[in-house]
Structure 1
């Protein structure tokens, strides 16, 4: 679980857009940049080189949740 206060101040380092927490995948998702940043041992890894690209389906899914 990620602290809600932390989540409220974190933004995507690429687009500066807000992030969505995905507890089941342990990721922070940015729809604007189509990137998902991993959370390892409870720590968000906010590096573009560590992020994975969202699929088109994932992007549409997360966009609908905004």
Structure 2
């Protein structure tokens, strides 16, 4: 997964507005607040609540 640091700093969870952290080994972005995990497809984050896995 290739997401620039500056982009990761401005991305937020659409459900709770918390910061996201990169899970590079799984090509996912995990929310630091609610715990939802969003997929990254072709280096593009899919920040749709319906597409997220819940903890």
Both structures adopt the same fold (TM-score exceeding 0.5): yes
Query: Where has structure 1 moved over 2 Å in runs of 4 or more?
Result: none
> Greater RCO between the two (CA within 8 Å, min separation 6)?
2
The match for 1:53 is 54
TM-score, scaled relative to structure 2: 0.91
TM-score, scaled relative to structure 1: 0.77
The match for 1:24 is 25
Listed as ranges, the gaps of 5+ residues in structure 1 are: 55-66
The alignment covers a number of residue pairs equal to 54
CA RMSD of aligned residues (A): 0.8
1:41 matched to 2:42? The reply is: yes
Listed as ranges, the gaps of 5+ residues in structure 2 are: none
Deviations 1:6-56 (A, max 9, x none): 1000000011000010100111101311200000000000000000012xx
Query: Whose radius of gyration is greater, 1 or 2?
Result: 1
Higher share in helix: 1
